[in-house]
Amino acid sequence: MIEKADQIFVILAHWLVSFLPAWLQHPAIVLLAVVGIIVTFPALFAITVLLERKGLGRMQNRFGPNRVGPLGIFQPVADGLKSLTKEDIVPLSADAVVHFLAPVFLVVVVFMGYAVLPIGRNMTLVNMDAGLLFFFAIGASSELSVFMAGWSSRNKYSLLGAMRAVAQMISYEVPLLMSSVAVVMITGSLSLGKIVDAQNQYTYGLPHWYIFTPWGFAGFILFAIAATAETNRSPFDLPEGESELVAGYFTEYSGFKFALFFLGEYVGMMGISGLGTTLFLGGYSAPFSFLNWVPSWIWFFSKIMLSMCVFIWVRGTLPRLRQDQLMNFAWKFVLPLSLLNLMVAGIWRFMGDGLLRWVVCSAILLLVYVLMARAGMKREHFGPRSYRYAE
């Protein structure tokens, strides 16, 4: 019974496909899985948009949208209807072909990343040997669509926003890859299925998730920072900040194309948090071994929604970083720490089991972090607070 609930989508797919001739069965299963992904994640996107607006509203001491339906739960439907029926304005001097292709390219690339994520037991769409490399290669292509959107609008603000966004995305790509390489090093494989299998073991009921190791904890935090910057999310959302740059690289987009950009950003956020849960939080494995009766895909989706809640929380809490502060942070703080994390993961691997490696690795990471943070704050002079009154 537990097995059936866990594998319900796999069983359903195989049953549906058994009505077709044998040579059509494999493409039909792939097609069903693709349709499942395309239906599920935009539905989650609608829930996330509502959650974000209500959550941000509450954090800012106001209600979110509460007019459409009880407690505003039909707001995503209203938003969808609005974006579908708005007039699609393309500026006269804009490059029409590139202007049209930019949101299309973004959405295609963002959905392709889901092909390698292990959503549940036996529920990976394509079980590739180099799955992690595929995800990063596809994610790197999404920067080009940002640039295409900004350049084709023939608008100074759009172009400026696009250049800033692309510079930010390239800068944070290296720490993203470096923090994942530590996981790959310890597991010994680039395949996401094997990484989840390596974390699916339990000692005394506690799981072997990588976040519970010193290098995994530091790696997860660095991955989260880099992921927030990769998806242009606050506090790194200078390229699209409403008060800074009109709307950044999608200033000239209206109606459905804007909705496609919005969809692409949130689905990309869910994809990269899916990757983060696979690498560090154990993918579809349960937190405690006695909770294994809950189906694996429920764990995966709840971990993704937890990551989205943390993204929304961070957006409502931290102020925006300036462009030069953002780039300094990437190259002078996050990148050296992620390289150090790689070295600490190597020390962890070769030190053998026992308490000593916990102490040594945590000590190295904490020491370097405190030293670098102190060195970075040296220019700030925190004296006693002074007040100036109008005369």
Closer residue to other proteins (CB): 134 or 333: 134
For residue 8, the minimal CB distance to other proteins (Å) is: 31
Residue 359, classified by CB atoms within 10 Å of its CB into exposed (0-12), middle (13-18) or buried (19+), is: exposed
For residue 90, the minimal CB distance to other proteins (Å) is: 17
Go through 323-333 and write b for each residue having 16 or more CB atoms within 10 A of its CB, e for each that does not.
beebbebbeeb
Report the Cα 304 to chain-centroid distance in Å: 9
Closer residue to other proteins (CB): 133 or 309: 133
Closer residue to other proteins (CB): 135 or 311: 135
Strand partners, 206: 203
For residue 330, the minimal CB distance to other proteins (Å) is: 15
For residue 54, the minimal CB distance to other proteins (Å) is: 36
Closer residue to other proteins (CB): 52 or 173: 173
Distance (Å, whole) CA 156 – CA 327: 22
Phi, psi of 202 (to 5 degrees): -130, 135
Closer residue to other proteins (CB): 190 or 211: 190
Contact in structure between 233 and 139 (CB atoms under 8 Å): no
For residue 295, the minimal CB distance to other proteins (Å) is: 31
For residue 191, the minimal CB distance to other proteins (Å) is: 8
Closer residue to other proteins (CB): 136 or 212: 136
Contact in structure between 118 and 217 (CB atoms under 8 Å): no
- Three-state secondary-structure class, residue 207: strand
Residues near other proteins, by CB under 8 A:
98, 128-130, 133-134, 136-138, 140-141, 143-144, 147-148, 151, 159, 163, 166, 170, 173, 188-190
For residue 169, the minimal CB distance to other proteins (Å) is: 9
DSSP secondary structure code for residue 208 in this structure: -
How much of the chain is helix, strand and coil, in % rounded to 5? 70, 0, 30
User: Which residues have a Cβ under 8 Å from the Cβ of 266 and sit 6 or more positions away?
Assistant: 45, 48, 49
Closer residue to other proteins (CB): 187 or 234: 187
Closer residue to other proteins (CB): 137 or 351: 137
- Three-state secondary-structure class, residue 206: strand
Closer residue to other proteins (CB): 181 or 308: 181
**Token pair of 177, please?**
């890859």
End-to-end CA distance of the chain: 78
Closer residue to other proteins (CB): 181 or 364: 181
Report the C-alpha dihedral over residues 30, 80, 75, 158, rounded to 10 degrees: 100
For residue 265, the minimal CB distance to other proteins (Å) is: 18
For residue 32, the minimal CB distance to other proteins (Å) is: 22
Determine which helix (DSSP H) or strand (DSSP E) holds 203, and give its type and residue range.
strand 202-203
For residue 134, the minimal CB distance to other proteins (Å) is: 5
Distance (Å, whole) CA 206 – CA 4: 25
- Three-state secondary-structure class, residue 246: coil
- Three-state secondary-structure class, residue 202: strand
